[in-house]
Structure 1
Amino acid sequence: MKTAKYLWEIARGTEQRAMPVLSFPAVQKMQVTVKQLVESSELQAEAMETVAKATPSIAAVSLMDLSVEAQAFGASVRFSDDEVPTVTGQLVSDEEEAKALAVPSVGAGRTGVCVEAIRMAKERIQDRPVLAGVIGPYSLAGRLMDVTEIMYLCYDEPETVHLVLEKAAEFIINYGLAFREAGADGMVMAEPLAGLLSAEMSAEFSCSYVKKIIEALQTEDFAVIYHNCGNSVNNMLPEIFSSGAAAYHFGNAVDMREILDQAPADVLCMGNIDPAGQFASGTPESIREATISLLQACGNEPNFIISSGCDIPPHSKWKNIEAFFGAVEEFNHTRS
Structure 2
Amino acid sequence: MTPSQWSTFKRAARGEKLPQIPMAMIIDSPWLPGYVGVSHAEFFLNPDTWFRAHHQVHQEFPDITFVPGWWPEYGMAAEPSALGAKIKFWENNTPSDLPLLFNIEDVDRLPPYEVEADAFMGLTLQRIRMQKQRIWDTGEILPIVTSRGPMCTAGFVRGTTEFMMDLVEKPEYAHKLLDLCTRLIIDWLKAQAAAVGRDVEAIFLLDDLVGFVGEEHYKEFCHPYLKRICDAFPADWVKIYHNDANIEECLEHLPDVGFNVLNWGKQTDIADVKARIGRRLCLMGNVNPLEVGVRGTPEQVRAATLDVLEKSGGENIILSVGGGTSPGMPRANIVAMQSALAEFNSRR
Question: Above 0.5 in TM-score?
Answer: yes
Q: Which residue of 2 aligns with 1:206?
A: 222
Match of 1:58 among 65, 89, 105: 65
- Taking the aligned partners of 1:158 and 1:255, their CA distance within structure 2 comes to 33
Match of 1:85 in 2: 95
Match of 1:114? 124
SS in 1 for 2:94: coil
Query: Does the alignment pair 1:229 with 2:244?
Result: yes
1-structure distance, mates of 2:109, 2:221: 20
Partner of 2:151: 138
For 1:174-189, list aligned pairs within 5 A: 174-181=187-194, 182=196, 183=198, 184-189=200-205
Residue 17 of structure 1 and its aligned partner are, at CA, apart by 1.0
Matches of 1:131 and 1:114 in 2, distance apart? 14
Q: Whole-Å Cα distance in 2 between the matches of residues 125 and 235 of structure 1?
A: 42
Equivalent-residue separation in structure 2 for 1:150 and 1:172 (angstroms): 18
Contact in 1 for aligned 2:13/2:281 (Cα 8 Å): no
Cα contact 2:41–2:90 (8 A) shared by 1? yes
With over 3 angstroms needed to count, the CA separation of the structure-2 counterparts of 1:117 and 1:187, relative to structure 1, is farther
Q: Which one scores higher on RCO, CA 8 angstroms, separation ≥ 6?
A: 1
Secondary structure in 2 aligned to 1:270? strand
Among all aligned residue pairs of Structure 1 and Structure 2, give the percentage whose two residues are the same amino acid: 23
SS at match of 1:234: coil
- Which deviations, in whole Å up to 9, do the C-alpha atoms of 1:267-298 show, x marking residues without a partner? 22211122222232222222111111111111
Tell me what 1:7 maps to. Answer: 12
Cα distance in structure 2, aligned partners of 1:148 and 1:261: 33
| Distance in 2 of aligned mates of 1:173 and 1:253 | 29
| 8 A Cα contact 1:27 1:47, kept in partner | yes
Go from structure 1 to structure 2 and tell me whether the alpha carbon gap of 1:170 and 1:217 turns closer, same or farther (over 3 Å shift): same
Give 2:185's aligned residue: 172
Q: Please point out which of 148, 164, 188 is paired with 2:161.
A: 148
Look up the match of 2:208.
192
Contact 2:241 2:259 in 1 (8 A): yes
Q: Indicate conservation of the 8 Å contact 1:64/1:311, yes or no.
A: no
Counterpart pick for 1:239 among 234, 249, 253: 253
Q: Which moved more, 1:266-275 or 1:78-87?
A: 78-87
Q: Given the alignment of the two structures, is residue 104 of structure 1 paired with residue 113 of structure 2, yes or no?
A: yes
Contact 1:218 1:224 in 2 (8 A): no
**How far apart are the structure 2 equivalents of 1:100 and 1:313?**
37
- Shift in alpha-carbon separation, 1:11–1:41, aligned structure 2, 3 A: farther
- Is it true that 1:72 corresponds to 2:82 in the alignment? yes
Higher alpha-carbon deviation: 104-113 or 28-37: 28-37
Q: Output one character per residue of 1:113-157: Cα deviation in whole Å (capped at 9) or x when no partner.
A: 333444535524535664343101011101111111111100100
Question: Relative to 1, partners in 2 of residues 1:321 and 1:80: Cα closer, same or farther, differing over 3 Å?
Answer: farther
CA distance in 2, matches of 1:72, 1:39: 19
* Counterpart check, 1:21 vs 2:42: no
In structure 1, C-alpha distance between the alignment counterparts of 2:295 and 2:314, rounded to whole Å: 28
CA distance in structure 2 between the partners assigned to 1:17 and 1:128 by the alignment: 18
Matched-pair contact (CA < 8 Å) for 1:41–1:116 = no
- Name stretches of at least 5 consecutive residues in structure 1 with no aligned partner: none
1:295 and 1:331 in contact (8 A); partners too: yes
Aligned pair partner of 1:259 in 235, 260, 273 = 273
Q: TM-score, normalised by structure 1?
A: 0.88
Distance 1:14 1:156 in 2: 52
